[in-house]
Structure formats: structure tokens, C-alpha cells
Amino acid sequence: MAEKQDLRGHGHEHQQSGAGRRLARMVHEVVSHGLFRTHSHDSADKTDAALESSSRGMRVLAVSFAVLMATAAVQAVIVVASGSVALLGDTLHNLADALTAVPLAIAFSLGRRAANRRFTYGYGRAEDLAGIGIVLLIAASAALAGYEAVMRLFNPQDIRAVGWVAGAAVVGFAGNEWVARYRIKVGREIGSAALVADGLHARTDGFTSLAVLLGAGGAALGFPLADPIVGLLITFAICFVLRDAAREIYHRLMDAVDPALVDTAERILAAVDGVRRVGSVRLRWIGHALHAEVEILVDHGMSVVDAHAVAVEAEHRLIHELPRLRAATVHTDPHGPAGADHHASLSAHRTH
């Protein structure tokens, strides 16, 4: 015989007053981005948290898009004046990086939609699709930059306005490094792999901008091939970024998680009173949040009510102690003589 019970109303919803929620939000912003923020298990707070994460992501995209477009515009003017193919490659890369905000913005907007009977887990996977778009944009920028560099190797040209090219390289580095730090910081805080990948992409763009300085220096010393050679080096750097971004998105598409998270979940469950042994632990990312499905073994002589209480505590511990976990399903099975028919399946949900 098996029983299935739902813990959504298990009685520890930690409701906050309006003033308490405002205070928690202030602490969240000023002190440590969520480490001290209290939480609730009700659907309204879940929606608020999801919207807050998406809103922060949208702000990052809007600001970084503006910064990178301004950087690319400055560089484009100097490309026309100087004819530097290395700077052209860097400009194209910055433009592609800015345009990655478009698929991410669409993904964050979709992620705000509530789950329904067709998409029962919601629309968080839209970020993974956006990640594929980002990978394709990076690949296109690498191909175009490489083509221009190869063509210039066969048809070398003198670089004009070398000082301006060097200045544009510094501007490119500063703009990309600022955007990279901003994207990576917020992406890690809201659990967005696509945003982190985009930040890593921007960081490498910054270093490729510095490489343009080498091309400008070579041209100033009377070595015109320095410019296309640096252009090829930038292309290779973009390819390394492409590899890392593709691997990150592939892991998300394949439901990969950091093994350390599984170890942490197992330690949390093993420490719960009444848990004899921890069975399988499955974790997956859906958008910004982790979802868990775990099995625990309890004494075969335990009553259904007591098993329910153990499952409640296991779910409670997981949601409170495992970072970015939004929902957990806890299955309890008997541990003891064969033939015991005591089994319960319990679930709960929580949003940061």
C-alpha cells in the first residue's frame, strides 16, 4: 500500500508583514544579495522572487547593451579612419556581444510566465535556448573576424591614426571588463548560466581589445602585418570563448549540476532525524532555480504520520540550506524487513 501526501500546506510558511518584507529586501540589496533575506513557501512569494530575478537580469542586459553599443560605436568610427583590421575584429566582437542581450531579454521575459498545464515546469528553459543563440553569435563574430584578418594578410595595408587605434583598444577593454563583472556578478546571484556565459564572453572581449594595442604598436614600428596577425589572435581567443560558452550551455541542456551540490544535498538529508539512509538524489536547473527529487529511507515500523513528519523536515532542510533550490520532492521508503508496505511520496515548493 502506498500513500501520497502534499506538503504545500505543511504549516511553516514564514509569512512576513509588509514592513518585514521591505526590510528584508533592503538587507538583500545592501548587505549580501540575499544571504539574510527571509522567505516564504506561498505562491505569491514564489512569483515575486521569480519576477525579481528576471527584473535584475533585464536591468543588466539593458545597461550592458548600452555600454557595449557605445563602445562599439566609438571603435567603428576609428576603424573607418584607420583601416585597422584588428580593431575591426574587436568592434565586430563587441557588437555581437551587445546583441546577445536580445535573445537573453526574450528569455527573461518568457521566464516570467507562470507554469500551466502544458508547460508544467514553467518557461525557465527559455534561457537555455537563448544560450544557444549566444553561442551562434559568438561563432559568427569569430568567422567574420578571422576572414577579415586572413584577407588583410594577403593584402597588407598601412594603418592610419595609430594613436587613435590604441585609444580605441583601451576604451574597448574598459567597457568590456565593466560589463563582464556586472553580468557575472548578477548572473551568479540569480543562477543564470546564460548570463554568466555572456559575462565570460565580455571579459575575453576586453583582453582581445588590449591585443589591438600590439597591432597598433607593430604598425607604429613599421610592421604592417602586425595588425592582421593580431586579428587572427583575436579570432583564436573568440574560439576559446566559444568553446567555454558552448560547454556551459550544453551542461544546462543535459541537466548537469555541480557534483558538490549533490554531495551537499546528501549531507543535509543524512543529518535529518529519522533518516536511516539517503537514496537517489536528482537535481536539475530550470531557469534561475534548482529543483530536487530525492529518496530517503526510514524505519519500516514508522507510522505514515511520522514518515510524513520526517519528509517535511527533510524538505525543509533542503530548501533552507541548499543554495538556489526552489522546489523539492521527497520520497520516503521503508528500511527494514522485506514486505513492509509503508511508503509515502511528499513534495513542496519554495522560491528565493
Please report, for the domain that includes residue 316, its CATH number.
Answer: 3.30.70.1350
Supply the CATH number for residue 96's domain: 1.20.1510.10
Do 135 and 222 fall within a single domain? yes
Note whether residue 183 is domain-resident.
yes
In a domain, 28, yes or no: no
Which of 253, 275, 293 lies at the terminal end of a domain, its last residue? Answer: 253
Q: Count Cα neighbours of 58 within 13 Å in the Cβ-side half-sphere.
A: 14
Asked if residue 298 and residue 220 are part of one domain, the reply reads: no
Q: Is the pLDDT of residue 278 over 80?
A: yes
In the predicted model, is pLDDT for residue 193 greater than 80? no
Q: Do the domain assignments include residue 31?
A: no
Instruction: Identify whether residues 121 and 235 lie together within a single domain.
Output: yes
Output the pLDDT for position 110: 83
**Are residues 267 and 240 both part of a single domain?**
no
Residues 242, 286 within the same domain: no
Asked if residue 217 has pLDDT above 90, the reply is: no
Q: Give the model's pLDDT for residue 54.
A: 64
Which residue range(s) make up the domain with 111?
39-253
Overall average pLDDT of the 182-203 stretch: 79
Among candidate residues 253, 283, 301, the one where a domain is terminated: 253
Q: Are residues 227 and 279 in the same domain?
A: no
Task: Flag the least confident range among 91-100, 110-119, 251-260.
Answer: 91-100
Lowest mean pLDDT among 6-20, 138-152, 186-200, 218-232: 6-20
Does position 130 have pLDDT exceeding 80, yes or no?
A: yes
Which of 100-104, 116-120, 244-248, 321-325 has the lowest average pLDDT? 100-104
Averaged pLDDT of the chain: 75
The number of distinct structural domains making up the chain is 2
pLDDT at position 53, please? 61
E-strand ranges in 115-163 read: none
Domain end (from 208, 228, 253) = 253
Residues in CB range of 53: below 8 A, 6 or more apart: 190, 191, 192, 288, 352
Strand stretches in the chain, DSSP E: 3-6, 277-286, 289-299, 325-335, 344-349
Question: Which of 30, 31, 29, 28 shows the shortest CA–CA distance to 39?
Answer: 28
pLDDT over 70 at 4, yes or no: no
pLDDT digit string (tens) for 31-85? 333 322 323 333 333 333 444 566 777 888 888 888 888 888 888 888 888 877 7
Same domain, 132 and 239: yes
Pick from 213, 333, 337: nearest CA to 277: 333
Residues 85 and 212 occupy one common structural domain: yes
User: Does residue 22 register a pLDDT over 70?
Assistant: no
Q: Is 321 contained in some domain?
A: yes
Cβ atoms of 328 and 348 closer than 8 Å: yes
Percent of the chain with pLDDT over 70: 79
pLDDT of residue 321: 94
Clarify whether residues 105 and 132 are in a common domain.
yes
Of residues 115 and 341, the one with the higher pLDDT is 115
